[in-house]
Structure 1
Amino acid sequence: MTDAPSPAPGRTGLRAERVSRTAGGALVLDGVTLAPRPGALTGLLGPNGSGKSTLLRLLAGVLAPETGVVTLDGDPLRGLPRRELARRVAVVGQHADTQVGLTVADAVRLGRLPHRRAWSPPTAADEEAVRSALARTGLSGLAHRTWHTLSGGERQRVQLARALAQEPRELLLDEPTNHLDVRHQLDLLALVSGLRLTCVMALHDLNLAALYCDHLVVLREGRVAAAGPVAEVLTERLVADVYGVRAAVTHPAPDGRPHVRYLGAPAGRG
């Protein structure tokens, strides 16, 4: 993995500053701060219900924080036009479906909508962006296939290609490896980790996070339990405190990235 590029002067990127959000009267996020490093892959970890998806929706501008602020290059998201935000920030969800018989190329072309005027045909720049996105995700040979003929792994790559066709600087991914087999999980994460975009990705699998992420933010009950470089965050104590599981964490050669081996729940816990 190459070093992340330095941000341009005055560009602080996407940041959440002490954001809070409630849902159904319950506090889902409580004073969370997140400042992803430019060009790096930040993994967002935590048990179910810890607030990962809500935080990603705040970063995408889909939800607004009730306290705190989300900014893009220092400007609050709430003041930015939706089209401008969509040109900068792309989102890949857990899964997608459609009742329309789109081809792969047509699905990827949807990523160009923020760059086009209403009802205007695609430009040469649009088509080049689509070709590039298809090539980067290994989908050029599938461009004319229809969505309903694709496997789950292929559909996730189409989602990623659509996001790349937006030509974003920030990419948000909400558990993109869910429903994928091991091979497709590894393929997708290897692709994402090599993009050199500012990425924030929610994950459940701690070992996948350790293998591909540069930095981690761990949520517990809507608060940040730990944040920092992968090797500093993924510890036996953290796994026990946040997930309620005993684990052995080793740092095998050659890269020294942590590996988590689960030993079971502590005595007295279900």
Structure 2
Amino acid sequence: MNDSDRLVATDGLSTEGGLRAERVSREVGGRLVLDGVTIAPRPGETIGLLGPNGSGKSTLLRLLSGVLAPSAGVVTLDERPLARTGRRALARRIATVQQNAHTQTELTVREVVALGRIPHRRAWAPMSAADLEAVRGALERAGLTDLADRSWHTLSGGERQRAQIARALAQEPEELLLDEPTNHLDIQYQIDLLELVAGLPVTSVIALHDLNLAAMYCDRLLVLRQGRVVAEGTPSQVLTAPLIGEVYGVRVEVLAGSDGPVVRFLRR
């Protein structure tokens, strides 16, 4: 792997702007759940986070979003520590999409998407023309225009995830963080959602379980195990049979495909 193919510069953080994490750790109850992780996505890239359950993917995303503070190391946005950046300023730059979203309030899809405009509005201020256009554009991009007036509670799982993507788009972020958004979705919805995310003009960091989907839609991958980075690079560099066996404890063969490596799982 040459220097230009690495997610992280060998001498630390890049001097470019954007969202960066430098040797971040997170301790919970005396146990390290994340240990010295560095990640520095380039503008416009889709970075996939891989690893078994408990490897630290969700914790890393929460550190990148500013929801959690690192026990050691630093997360920066345009070279400024997140801890010194106001919550409203962060929300204007960084949008997050969780695995599942629930609400007891009766909201339409349009109203859910409009929640993404809160960081751009004063308290109790009505929606401006710019807000309305951002919501309209987000609905269109997510393919939800025809469902805009439907109740959130009547949507399928895939449609709800699209609505959450649209809500994030309405924030007009430059960075998008997604925590296993394809979980519990039919294959068609998984592909549709990742096609949408990969085509967005933003920098995306997305936690995934499906190795083949990660190979198809991510520019680069970072693999975690027990809170530490064990591999990083392009899908072809990272997704090898020895590494998958080491990290996941399964036998596989990796084939060359038109959209990247294809992982075929073998019986024990």
TM-score of Structure 1 vs Structure 2, range by shorter chain: over 0.9
Which of the residues 63, 67, 75 maps onto 1:70? 75
Could you tell me which residue of structure 2 aligns to residue 4 of structure 1?
none
The equivalent of 2:64 in structure 1 is 59
| Corresponding position: 1:181 with 2:194 | no
Gaps of 5+ in 1: 1-9, 266-270
1:217 corresponds to: 222
Find the residue that maps to 1:187 and give its secondary structure: helix
Residue 92 of structure 2 is matched in structure 1 by 87
The residue that corresponds to 2:7 in the other structure is none
Of 118, 122, 126, 1:121 maps to 126
Q: Tell me the equivalent position of 2:48.
A: 43
Name the structure 1 match of 2:261: 258
TM-score (norm 2): 0.93
Count of aligned pairs between the two proteins: 254
Query: Aligned equivalents of 1:141 and 1:198: distance in 2?
Result: 28
1:142 to 116, 127, 147: 147
Tell me, in whole angstroms, the C-alpha distance in 1 between the residues paired with 2:132 and 2:28: 41
CA displacement at 1:24 relative to structure 2: 2.3
The reply on whether 1:131 has 2:132 as its aligned counterpart is no
Look up the SS of the partner of 1:78 in the other structure. Answer: helix
Distance (Å, rounded) in 1 between the aligned partners of 2:66 and 2:173: 15
Aligned pairs for 1:151-230 within 5 A = 151-230=156-235
Q: What amino acid maps onto 1:260 in structure 2? A: V
1:218 maps to amino acid: V
Structure 2 unaligned runs (5+)? Answer: 1-14
Amino acid at match of 2:237: E
Deviations 1:198-255 (A, max 9, x none): 0000000101101111000000110000001111010001101111111100112x34
What's the C-alpha RMSD, in Å, of the aligned pairs? 0.9
Matched residue SS, 2:138: helix
TM-score computed with the length of structure 1 as normaliser: 0.93
Instruction: Please report how far the alpha carbon of residue 12 of structure 1 lies from its aligned counterpart in structure 2 after TM superposition.
Output: 1.7
Q: d(CA) in 2 for partners of 1:82 and 1:121?
A: 21
Partner of 1:232: 237
Residue identity matched to 1:264: R
Q: Distance in 2 between matches of 1:68 and 1:264?
A: 41
Corresponding residue for residue 24 of structure 1: 29
Deviating beyond 2 angstroms after TM superposition, the runs of 4 or more aligned structure 1 residues are: none
CA distance in 1, matches of 2:42, 2:223: 16
Q: Secondary structure at the match of 2:245?
A: helix
